[in-house]
Chains A and B, each alone.
Chain A
Amino acid sequence: GENVEQHPSTLSVQEGDSAVIKCTYSDSASNYFPWYKQELGKGPQLIIDIRSNVGEKKDQRIAVTLNKTAKHFSLHITETQPEDSAVYFCAASIYGQNFVFGPGTRLSVLP
């Protein structure tokens, strides 16, 4: 079955700097890769996603890149702000079913 690894497990950055979180997946059939943000006491919420027919997607300060050959995908957050502090999860899925999540990255943005 699918296995998703995520690094780093914790990440601290200064406000205004960039943050990068990387994930790898094992099943070449996976074709949908979402990123979720979980704030304290809340359920994970989708922040950005990418499908296998696209190499990069950007939404304001957030971008995701996908390398299908290497089975890597990454989340990039630029100009980080304190409200970006949260736990981030990557996931891999086949047509929106059987999502497999990475173990999560705790991002701390220091003022």
Chain B
Amino acid sequence: EAQVTQNPRYLITVTGKKLTVTCSQNMNHEYMSWYRQDPGLGLRQIYYSMNVEVTDKGDVPEGYKVSRKEKRNFPLILESPSPNQTSLYFCASSSPKGGSGANVLTFGAGSRLTVL
């Protein structure tokens, strides 16, 4: 089944304790991105990646890092989490190339992070 898998789905941590949220897709998509969802603000892009070893900042990158060493994986790293990073996080992927299904952004199920 074509899907984007995120882990963990739920996490409670404390300020300053480094954490990584993993994201993996099995659709051979070039494009991957991370979003955070907060009430009233919709989905805001944190980082995105056009392909392996190519990453760029989205609208709200402060406090986050990403890496794209393999095409299928795009982990989100919080080096020193703070309470304002408490949010619902979504990973997504798409294939910008032409053809049927091109451009469709497929989301993972989400990771709810609480930073105390």
**Stretch of A12-20, A54-62, A71-79, A96-104 with 4 or more beta carbons under 8 angstroms from chain B:** A96-104
Interface size class of A (residues with CB under 8 A): 20 to 34
A2-B22 Cα distance, complex, nearest whole Å:
28
Query: Footprint of A on B, CB under 8 Å?
Result: 4, 31, 33, 35, 40-45, 48, 50, 58-59, 90, 92, 94-96, 102-110
A98–B48 CB distance below 8 A: yes
A41 to B111, CA, bound (A): 10
B40 touches A103 (CB 8 A): yes
Residues of B within 8 A of A45 (CB): 107
Q: A96-B94, A101-B42 are in contact. Are A46 and B105 (CB under 8 A)?
A: yes
**Complex: chain B residue closest to A6, CB-CB:** B42
Distance, CA A36 to CA B110, complexed state (A): 15
* Residues 19-36 of A contacting B (Cβ, < 8 Å): 32, 34, 36
Q: A44-B90, A89-B42, A104-B43 are in contact. List 12 more A-B contacts (CB 8 A).
A: A1-B59, A34-B103, A36-B107, A43-B4, A43-B107, A44-B43, A96-B105, A97-B48, A99-B92, A99-B94, A101-B43, A104-B42
A80 at the A/B interface (Cβ < 8 Å)? no
With most chain B CB atoms within 10 A of its CB, the pick from A1, A9, A46, A96 is: A96
CB of B107 within 8 A of CB of A97, answer no
Chain A minimum-CB-distance residue to B31: A97
A1 and B45 CA atoms in complex are apart in Å by: 13
Chain A residues with CB under 8 Å of B42's CB are 6, 89, 101-104
